Amino acid sequence: MEKVSSDIIGQSDGPTDILVETPHYLVPIIAVVVLCVVIGFVIYKRKKK
């Protein structure tokens, strides 16, 4: 846990580091959400027919 907190403090020293790091964490999350929405929409459309 101590290593994690020190890493977070190290990253927050530079605002540019946060801007660079944030997308790397969000990209997979956004991709999964988009995939779920698309798959759910396709299933919903097929069931409606």
Instruction: Report pLDDT for 15.
Output: 53
Would you list the domain boundaries of the chain? Answer: 15-48
Per-residue model confidence (pLDDT) at position 30? 82
pTM for this predicted structure: 0.45
Q: How far apart are CA 20 and CA 17, in angstroms?
A: 5
Query: DSSP string spanning 1-49?
Result: -HHHHHHHHHHHTSHHHHHHHHHHHHHHHHHHHHHHHHHHHHHHHHHH-
Would you put residue 14 in left (φ > 0), alpha (ψ -120 to 50) or beta?
A: beta
For residue range 1-49, list pLDDT tens digits in order: 455 555 555 555 555 555 555 566 777 888 899 999 999 999 999 998 7
